[in-house]
Structure 1
């Protein structure tokens, strides 16, 4: 094939990076590299600068699988302790460029975005789908079909080509975060359907450990495979000899590599222009009939329903990252919801230099079907050295700190809603005062949280959050206390800042004290 007609993800500079130029001073410069240089030079790269947050989240999972392959950490026949010892040696020795070159030489044709076996795509779609979906459908955020134009002026009659490097990010987002429901018709044998299940990460928020170099971040993001896993069985899609039969339901995954790069429900095919520098069309349809099994992704917080079913904590653009910190550090954080922390942190915290590991949260606020709301991204200061199994007292204190901040935030919301409802003779619900209070309290509470965490100052934290809630309540209600009716309503509602009115005598606790109602601090 004419090399000018390829888009080789191994060598094309499509992944944005921040490269370290001064290993001691921390200076860096922006650039872009292909996969081969990215892995071979990962100890010289500060971090990735790629696509929207969900595209980066998806790319991380691809890179974890590749890192495991080129380091031999895709197998742990002697158990997790030996695996972690090998990982430490690999961290100190740096990337093995020969292993990187050997791996990509073996699968070079599989990383051509527009080849006969295009990367993460299905070349059979033009024969199985009556028509393409259009490039606007590929780009999450562009209006497509009969949808209304809101943020950008794109029209199916005159679609703008998409730079190929950007198209890779949208391909990844479709595979991991794609919607359920109606899609293009695809006919495979006697099966003709036009619907799909949602991608494995849809609506979720994932948490990734990040160190001072990309090399440390990638190694910290690996989890040890079970001792029975063998790389010849635990294959990524580009390593399979044949394309999958989309009508056959997968029962399970062979190991971490197939879980990281599997679970996809959609099938896509990108259509380039003559130069292969732009994508001008795309096929998008179902990739599997029936729901794929859960990947039990190790980068999400798993919440357990009352029926005992685990589900990923949803991404919420209105929820600051500090409110999830104790769910990352503790095995059993306080709150009404049962939690399983991301599995990756239990082994990341045992890596040398873990005290400097930060957490980067990446996700996509969506509903479970088709509605996309907002990308979500946030980072913490160095955090993983404070995990419960390393510093249990500090981790528990951080949990108490988070609980205090959230409790008073929830009490404040109840108080201002009650005051507003009483003054306006309405039912308690979200209102102008609750929005004003939230906009004032939560950013200030976040500052208190991180300041106290950095200083490891957990004394009297409840008092500081209570004072913050009191000041916010007074600011929001200040203009309505000049009348006796307004003042009575405000002062009556103020009791909610302290847990509400005392319970009836029949609710007296066994020790004779009357309990104060406390809202859930999830």
Structure 2
């Protein structure tokens, strides 16, 4: 019996859009008013990568001049024409299901399809899954949610033993397979990479801003096969077949890694380890992650930190704007994007995020305080902040170092407050001090956008320092009570003295 082709991603609504609900690929590239992608932070990254893969396949500019000429509207038209040519490859079900391996239906006969679980994470339920929270409760996914799940899994699948067991590799004599599948390359080992992208006024403009040119792909020297071919045009037949090897060494493999081989069936999913990728220590590079400039065995990366929102890493992401660039980290997605929009006269956004995970006994999972993390900020027009004469980035760097100084001051004075009252439980003291410091950063976050707009004006910066000084006092006061005479005495003796911070705009913390 012939398999029915149904739910085409080009025609059916499935992509979450802020303030608009779900839209199809055709709608997305036909209307320029869709503001931003919806979903959690990992879904946003995965969808951005997927849309970039469509755009790169439709029209990869030769160089920055070609990129400038096509604009976002021209790119969208090219994407619509491309999708029309490849319409039959975007069915979620059928003879050639999107990013799936129908051969699994014949290989896996003794096991039932895996459950999607809650569908929030790019992971299936383990065989001995224990439900601890409502987020772990299994739910029935719609076809739209399944499409997002598959795309997210290709680059962000958790490492572990949840793959179907006792299934031989699809590539004959392939030796890289084990009972514990390797994590997908974009996730970030057992911590989580911080990914960053430029954000425009619409989804179409965002994709255009982050598009790579053939010239830049070649100059980076990262991908041996340069652009490559998207997997829906030619799917790999195994973990190490010729198609898989080409994809692994191309930019398309970075956008759609195919790290899991899957097949939708009976409300669940057959789930095997797919193409294996190296870590950043072994030479893996994605333009959206921030890596240290030192190319050695100890190469560092900007990891996700639940207690440190990504906006606090902005100076690291923009370090290329410094007059003397001595930065430790480089995010190619942001740096290369800024190089070609430096004459823009309108603001541009930067989005950063990811998923904090942890590893245990060969498995990856989300536990304790692990969570999705993201930040979005809007920078002043690039033509105002990228010139050599601009002091904006230098002022921002000073202000961020001063905020760090205030945070440490709040931490230290809170510690001293409890110690002066004879609190001998050091762990409890540190916990309260850390909570006070975290509260300070939370209070700062709501004013950070104002700080970005004030860094070119000393009077505006002075007003911002008054706000941040009050935030430091508020954080201290919130955790250092003054209800009794003893508490009041400790509160007065240890309350932060921030007069130098406010009075001297150029003084750096010692």
Aligning the two structures, in what range does the TM-score lie when normalised by the shorter sequence? 0.7 to 0.9
In the alignment, is the contact (CA less than 8 A) between 2:41 and 2:355 conserved in 1? yes
CA–CA separation in structure 2 for the residues paired with 1:104 and 1:247: 26
Greater CA drift, 85-94 or 407-416: 85-94
Query: Aligned partners of 2:2 and 2:347: how far apart in 1?
Result: 46
What's the TM-score once normalised by structure 2's chain length? 0.77
Q: In the TM superposition, what are the counterparts of 1:12-91 in structure 2 within 5 Å?
A: 12-17=12-17, 30-39=20-29, 41-42=30-31, 44-73=32-61, 76=62, 83-91=63-71
Note the C-alpha offset of 1:219: 0.8
- 1:414-425 to 2 correspondences below 5 Å: 414-421=412-419, 423-425=422-424
Q: How many residues align?
A: 469
TM-fit CA distance, 1:210 = 1.6
Equivalent in the alignment of 2:443: 444
Rounded to whole Å, the distance in 2 between the matches of 1:59 and 1:481 is 55
* 2:309–2:373 Cα contact (<8 Å) kept: no
**Residue 32 of structure 1: how far off its partner (Å):** 3.3
Q: 1:213 to 1:72 in 2, by over 3 A?
A: same
Q: 2:226, 2:95 → 1: CA distance?
A: 23
Q: Is 1:125 aligned to residue 104 of structure 2?
A: yes
Match of 1:238 among 228, 232, 237: 232
1:315 to 304, 309, 327: 304
Alpha-carbon contact 2:432-2:479 (below 8 Å) kept: yes
Q: CA deviation at 1:48?
A: 3.7
Please, what is the CA RMSD of the aligned residues?
A: 4.0
SS of the residue 1:424 aligns to = coil
2-side partners of 1:52 and 1:228: how far apart?
29
Counterpart check, 1:197 vs 2:182: yes
Q: Distance in 2 between matches of 1:138 and 1:286?
A: 21
Which residue of the partner structure matches residue 370 of structure 1? 364
Task: Name the CA shift for 1:290/1:213 in 2 (closer, same or farther; >3 Å).
Answer: closer
Paired residues of 2:291 and 2:300 also in contact (CA < 8 A) = yes
Gaps of at least 5 residues in structure 1 are: 19-28, 77-82, 274-279, 500-515
Aligned to 2:398: 400
Q: Could you tell me which of 126, 148, 159 is aligned with 2:130?
A: 148
Task: Please list every run of 5 or more consecutive structure 2 residues that lacks an aligned counterpart in the other structure.
Answer: 219-223, 501-507
1:256 has 2:235 as partner: no
CA distance in structure 1 between the partners assigned to 2:473 and 2:80 by the alignment: 61
Question: Cα distance 1:30–1:228, how it changes in 2: closer, same or farther (>3 A)?
Answer: closer
| Cα displacement string for residues 466-497 of structure 1 (whole angstroms, at most 9, x for unaligned residues) | 554345334532337723xx678667766798
SS in 2 for 1:103: helix
CA contact (8 A) 2:304 2:354 kept: yes
TM superposition score normalised by structure 1: 0.76
- Alpha-carbon offset, residue 464 of structure 1: 5.9
- Seen in structure 2, the aligned counterparts of structure 1 residues 478 and 48 have a Cα distance that, compared at 3 Å, is closer
1:105 to 1:94, Cα distance in 2 relative to 1, 3 A: closer
Query: CA distance change for structure 1 residues 137 and 96 in 2, over 3 Å: closer, same or farther?
Result: closer
Deviations 1:141-166 (A, max 9, x none): 586533332333877xxx64310101
Change in CA separation of 1:431 and 1:359 when aligned onto 2, cut-off 3 Å: same
Q: What is the alpha-carbon distance in structure 2 between the residues aligned to residue 241 and residue 180 of structure 1?
A: 22
- Alpha-carbon distance, 1:60 to partner: 0.4
Superimposed CA distance per residue, residues 351-376 of structure 1 (whole angstroms, 9 cap, x where no aligned partner): 36463211222321212551223222
Contact 1:196 1:288 (8 Å CA) reproduced: no
**Do the aligned residues in 1 keep the contact of 2:352 with 2:375 (CA within 8 Å)?**
yes
Cα distance per residue 1:177-197 (max 9 Å; x no partner): 222232322312456632111
The 2-side partners of 1:329 and 1:31 are apart by: 33
- 8 Å CA contact retained: 2:317, 2:329: no
In the alignment, the residues of structure 1 paired with residue 268 and residue 314 of structure 2 have an alpha-carbon distance, to the nearest angstrom, of 42
Q: Which moved more, 1:1-10 or 1:46-55?
A: 1-10
Tell me, yes or no, if structure 1 residue 115 matches structure 2 residue 94: yes
Q: Cα distance, 1:397 vs. partner? A: 0.9
Cα deviation, residue 54, structure 1: 0.7
Contact 2:38 2:44 in 1 (8 A): yes
How many angstroms apart in 1 are the aligned matches of 2:427 and 2:295? 27
